Chains A and B, each alone.
Chain A
Amino acid sequence: MSTNRRRHANAIPIASFVTWAFVGIIACVGGLGYVWTKNQLYTTGTEIKMLERELADLRNKNEVALSKISQLSSTAKLQERFDTGFIKLVPITNEHIVVLSNGAAPQNKGELRSISNQGGNE
């Protein structure tokens, strides 16, 4: 066998190796990328679910709070608190109310008019 032929027979096909290596790496990266993306998708899904649950919990708590507020500020509850003396308000009787009627428009500009008490008996 001539030297030239032997050299040719033992030559390493670098280009081919590089090509296959490149294809292999691409396949590996692609595969890993796919797995990673899928994993991310599931993780994000789980996070979405968790956030949805938290949001629902917050909404529920908000609704419970609103319901409690409206129960505590309802007319019936306020009346009950007033009756038990919790709200220390004193009912104003008619004798203590002065009703001011709308005064008639002055006939001359600058004319002063007194306020009349139409409530009556004070």
Chain B
Amino acid sequence: MNRTARTRALTTCCLLASCYTAFSFRLVQLQVTQHDEYAARAAETHVNRQTIYARRGVIQDVHGEPLAQNEPVRTVIADGTLIKDREALADVLAPALGMERSLVLEKVSREVYSKTHKKNVPVPYIVLKKDVAESVVSGIQEQLAERKMRGVFFEQETTRVYPNGHMLCHVLGYVNGENVGVDGVEKTMEQFLRGHDGFRYTERDRTGKEIVPYRGQEKEARNGCNLRLTIDMGLQNIVEQELDAAIKQFRPKSATVILMNPKTGGILAMANRPNFNLNVQDKVPLDYRRNRALSDMVEPGSTFKIVTAAAALTERIVRPTTMINCENGFMASCKLRDHHPYADLSVNDILVKSSNIGVAKLAIQLGDQKFYEYVRRFGFGERSGVSLPGEISGIVHPPHRWSKISITRMPMGQEVAATPLQVASAMCVIANGGQLMMPQIVQDILDEEGHVITHFAPQEIRRVASQDATNAVRNALVDVVSPKGTAALARVAGFKVAGKTGTAQKYDEKTRLPSHEKYVVSFLGFMPAEDPAFVALVLFDEAQAKPGQNYGGLVAAPVFSRIGEKAARYLGLVPSPEEPTGSIMAGQNSRDR
């Protein structure tokens, strides 16, 4: 080889070597030095974090009937960059989604300015419709496949469904658009119902299809826990039916019925009016959504007399047979009147005849501080702690804020504001022998298979009254629901019922005086009196009864009777052999308060 040839060969080799060295450097730069940057850019394009949504827990009644559950739905998404024939796509989607064709066309034709392309480009993520049923989606998918159309995706979501619609609406509550509970049990038990979303890292090819072999890290979703309430839908249905009938008859401004198990404090049924449909609650006024059993306070009226009587008997200031002078119907020192003039009444008869003067004298004998203590011990003036949102504490003023006549007004349920739940809980104390139980709405937290994770045992808050005192009050309350008492219409054929009527005058906002037209009427009772299965409160605010008939004994007591009769049959209660099963006539005393 001559010199020239050798030089040429060497030069070529050097050039090639330089070239390959340059390539090698670039390769090292790409693969090593800038590896992380390019890997991140590649991952951004091809790898995505796919969320695996957790299923929200189901809410059941005490027997396992679903009260709130999930239904799979889809959100229809259009990718404008992949759509070729928008007109044809609108023809397919508009009728299936129940939308105007022009609206679909307008949505899929949307464009945004792209800085990269420096022109308007189609929008890659357009929400066409939410909450579309699975059956509709299947139909659309078939049509799209048939016509070989691309650019429409269906995102999996769930919607909350309440099979019973209006029933129990204030207790269950509802969720917002993000499936987060905003009212009722849905809100208070959110942490248990919610569950935890999982995720999966997936890699996609350039057409957007997932490359399954390259699946990355994965974490399973943990579904929410199920809840079992203390509510019995059989009893709830009875309550709702009777409440609807009463609403038709009396057209009150609002109404509340609560059924409680006095031994456990479990709420068996709770209904308010006005109510709303949980499945269609977009335009429901805020006032309809309130759970009045917890968030409204009323003057309890004569139902409060049980507190005074139980306190006096527990303190052994009086005995059930102790006679109290009822001043022939007018107590001049504090301008207090009875509906009928009575000379002397036993403590038992004070409750039976609902004597205002009688209970006032009992409270005076107790003294301000002692009476106040008992009112508080019965749970008035404090939240009960039930697992429902919006509960208020009511108003019970301490003795140093009382007027001179407060000690005569409070014992008959005036100058006190209580929630219907507090009133029902107070009666549970009499029914169960003197224990204040915490009202309970959630019985169990269950896992997906239905195994109990947490059981909420009945919780005694405190002992309020003695067994003897509550027995004496109970006996008196049985007489209240007798022909000689004020609540003869509350009787249930075959059963011994104990109860107390309440009729409280509302204050007229204009005159600031007690109104003679607006009343809160109620009946608070339990049955069977010997071994109570339930305590019930029936309360109507401004019932439109005939003049002179707007009393708890005439409006609320018959509703209790009908609920009691049906509930007794539903619960399989054995009638008392001592009680007649014939028809019941109202006594004249039903007009008393």
Contact = CB atoms under 8 A, between A and B. Distances in A.
A41 B213 contact: yes
B151 interface: no
B251 interface: no
Interface string B128-168: 00000111000000000000000000001000010111110
B163 A119 contact: no
Nearest to A71: B163
Given A120-B581, A121-B580, A67 B69 contact: yes
Contacts of B569: 97
Contacts of A101: 574, 577
A71 B65 CA distance: 10
B463 to A, nearest CB: 33
Given A61-B134, A70-B69, A75 B574 contact: no
A97 B166 CA distance: 32
Contact of A121 (B65, B163, B582): B582
B70 interface: yes
B72 interface: yes
Contact of A42 (B213, B565, B582): B213
Contact of B493 (A61, A71, A77, A94): A94
Interface string B227-249: 00000011011000100000000
B212 A75 contact: no
B241 A79 contact: yes
B211 A45 contact: yes
Nearest to A42: B213
A55 to B, nearest CB: 13
A19 B71 CA distance: 67
The SS class assigned to the A binding surface is helix
Contacts of A75: 65, 164, 167, 233-234, 236-237
A63 B163 contact: no
Contacts of B66: 70, 74
A67 to B, nearest CB: 4
B72 A63 contact: yes
B575 A63 contact: no
Contacts of B580: 120-121
Given A63-B70, A74-B164, A42 B574 contact: no
Given A46-B212, A70-B66, A94-B494, A76 B163 contact: yes
Interface string B201-224: 000000000111100000000000
Which of B213, B237, B580 gathers most chain A CB within 10 Å?
B213
Interface residues of A, number: 31
A63 B164 CA distance: 17
A63 B213 CA distance: 29
Nearest to B211: A45
A94 B133 CA distance: 46
Contacts of A21: none
Contacts of B577: 101, 118
Interface string B509-548: 0000000000000000000000000000000000000000
Interface in B477-529: 493-494
A45 B211 CA distance: 7
A99 interface: yes
A43 to B, nearest CB: 10
B71 A121 contact: no
Nearest to A94: B493
A111 to B, nearest CB: 22
B459 to A, nearest CB: 28
A71 B237 CA distance: 15
A3 B335 CA distance: 152
Contacts of B213: 41-42, 44-45
A35 to B, nearest CB: 14
A32 interface: no
A101 B573 CA distance: 11
Contacts of B581: 94, 119-121
B211 A64 contact: no
Contacts of B565: 94
A49 interface: yes
A99 to B, nearest CB: 6
Given A49-B210, A79-B237, A94-B494, A99 B163 contact: no
A28 interface: no
A15 to B, nearest CB: 34
B494 A120 contact: yes
Contacts of B163: 67, 70-71, 74, 76-77
Contacts of A66: 69
Which of A57, A94, A119 gathers most chain B CB within 10 Å?
A94
A4 B134 CA distance: 88
A29 interface: no
A36 B538 CA distance: 77
Given A79-B237, A118-B575, A120-B581, A63 B167 contact: no
Contacts of B72: 59-60, 63-64
Interface string A59-89: 1110110110011001111010000000000
Contacts of A48: 212
Contacts of A56: 156
A93 to B, nearest CB: 10
A89 to B, nearest CB: 14
Contacts of B69: 66-67, 70
Interface of B: 65-66, 69-72, 133-135, 156, 161, 163-167, 210-213, 233-234, 236-237, 241, 493-494, 565, 569, 574-575, 577, 580-582
Given A49-B210, A70-B163, 15 more contacts: A42-B211, A44-B212, A45-B211, A45-B213, A57-B134, A59-B72, A60-B72, A74-B163, A75-B233, A76-B165, A77-B164, A79-B237, A79-B241, A94-B494, A118-B577
**Interface pairs A-B: 3 shortest CB-CB:** A45-B212, A74-B163, A120-B581
28 contacts: A42-B212, A45-B213, A49-B212, A64-B71, A64-B72, A64-B134, A67-B69, A67-B71, A70-B163, A74-B65, A74-B164, A75-B234, A75-B237, A76-B165, A76-B166, A76-B167, A79-B237, A79-B241, A94-B493, A94-B494, A94-B565, A94-B581, A99-B494, A119-B494, A119-B581, A120-B575, A120-B580, A120-B582
